Amino acid sequence: MKNRKIITTTILVLAMLFSVIGCSKKDDSASKEQANEPEVTITVSAAASLKDAMTELQTLYKKEKSNVTITYNFGSSGSLQQQIEQGAPADIFMSAAQKQMTALAEKDLILKDSKKDLLENKVVLITSKDNTSIKDFSDLTSDSIKKVALGETKSVPVGQYSEESLKKLGIFDKIQGKTVYAKDVKEVLAWVETGNVDVGMVYATDAKVSDKVKVVKEAEEGSYTKAVYPVAVLKDSKNVDAAKAFVDFISSDAGKAIFEKYGFSALK
């Protein structure tokens, strides 16, 4: 009986040992396989409002695909669109509006069937944390408000959304003497943070990552076109498979969780 217990225990120990060895070999094999994969660099042209989330995703992806280097070109969606149209090298485009993606698709610069509507954002009115004089959009017309920062309305989606919302409220024309326009949403945020302007309109996600501003009011839903973020692989990409893989990664549940951490709403 005692010998039988010893034999049984020995068999179990050996089984566990072989299982560990087998897993170790699989891990080693996977590591070697990844190490043998060629080095690839993917360039992503992305809206400035995506910077914080995309930087974290870049770090996570490097752990999963050590042979792939992700480089970013952040800016206003309109500027990035123009760069791509003029032949600037890029593998992936992620816009803060449909307008710029549609323009590239109409010029046949987007890889067929690669476009996904990935995220949605909200537009908010912000001031510095110590500002107590602004409580609503209607306060923008007050004589005490000297400067209102908006994104440039032709090339910066948040500027376009802001203009739509302010026009819906009947405020846009009334504040033309005090509006100043920024090259992208990050610049609007910086101006409010430093006190260069009294108030600004940014995405909810930009306000969320700053400890120097506060949200006064969210722009009313329906007062502006939904701020949907599409992503697509570009037709001239030299690394289509790797680009598709990265888009799949940021579109996965794990990728969407990172975006949601920064205040975006992930679309299904």
Q: Is 111 helix (H, G, I), strand (E, B) or coil?
A: coil
Judge whether 206 and 185 are in contact, CB under 8 Å: yes
Judge whether 130 and 193 are in contact, CB under 8 Å: no
- Is 77 annotated for ligand binding? yes
Token pair of 109, please? 């610069």
Scan for tokens 């770090």, then name that residue.
59
- Is 203 annotated for ligand binding? yes
How far is it, in rounded angstroms, from Cα 256 to Cα 268?
A: 10
- DSSP string across 219-260: PPTTSS--EEEEEEEBTT-S-HHHHHHHHHHHHSHHHHHHHH
- Is 148 annotated for ligand binding? no
On the CB side of 68, how many CA atoms lie within 13 Å of its CA? 24
Cα→Cα distances 160→145, 176, 235, Å: 21, 15, 27
What does the chain come to in residues? 268
How far is it, in rounded angstroms, from Cα 189 to Cα 111?
A: 33
- DSSP string across 56-69: HHHHHHHHH-TTEE
How far is it, in rounded angstroms, from Cα 60 to Cα 55?
A: 9
How far is it, in rounded angstroms, from Cα 174 to Cα 72?
A: 38
Beta bridge partners of 70: 42
How far is it, in rounded angstroms, from Cα 171 to Cα 167?
A: 6
Which residues are annotated as part of the binding site? 49, 77, 185, 203
**Residues of each annotated binding site for molybdate:** 49, 77, 185, 203
